[in-house]
Amino acid sequence: MTEGADRRDTPEIRTSRYTLRKLVREDAAALFPSFSDDDMMKWWSCGPFISVQALADWLVPESGWDKGRSWAITDHDSDLAIGRLAAIDMGDDVTELGYLISKERQGEGIATEALSSLVAHLFHDEKQRRVYADVDPDNVASNKILEKLGFTLEGRLREACTTHIGRRDSLIWGMLDHEWQKR
């Protein structure tokens, strides 16, 4: 962790093309078309959202989010959210990742660039020892991103959760701090 920084902070992180800034309730309007789309939400633990208000309440609850932080991904020249990253503190210097890129911006490498910068921040600035993601096996795009970033497929948890589409397996992708440094 950086000197004097609180792990609860959500610092601004800049990549070559994007700015990762703290997600705010007002970002729900820009993200709603994706978070309300059946195809986009297929692999999530919850189904599509039915209103901007419901999405805002979930993304940025009024009482705060005890274990996690969220970033909006924006182009450098715009404040419009084109994606969302989440870092969930699991304790013992371990963080779980979550992410979604707006439907109309998929295929541009946004997730790879943004996640890479967030993971670097988590390891270098916050001194996390492990970062991981839990991904549905049928979410081909998400699994490819993690593989491209150098995450290790650590295992498959059979029927790990019940979602809006039924019982689903989970693939666990992990990265250790010393593995990231060797990349």
Residue spans of the domains in the chain: they are 13-182
Instruction: Spell out the per-residue pLDDT of the chain, length 183, in tens.
Output: 334 344 568 999 999 999 999 999 999 999 999 999 998 888 888 889 999 999 999 998 776 667 789 999 999 999 999 999 999 999 999 999 999 999 999 999 999 999 999 999 999 999 999 999 999 999 999 999 999 999 999 999 999 988 888 899 999 999 999 999 888
pTM strictly above 0.75? yes
CATH number of 13-182: 3.40.630.30
**Pairing mode of beta strands 152-163, 130-135:** unpaired
Burial class (CB in 10 A: 0-12, 13-18, 19+), 163: middle
- Tell me how crowded residue 19 is: count the other CB atoms within 10 A of its CB: 18
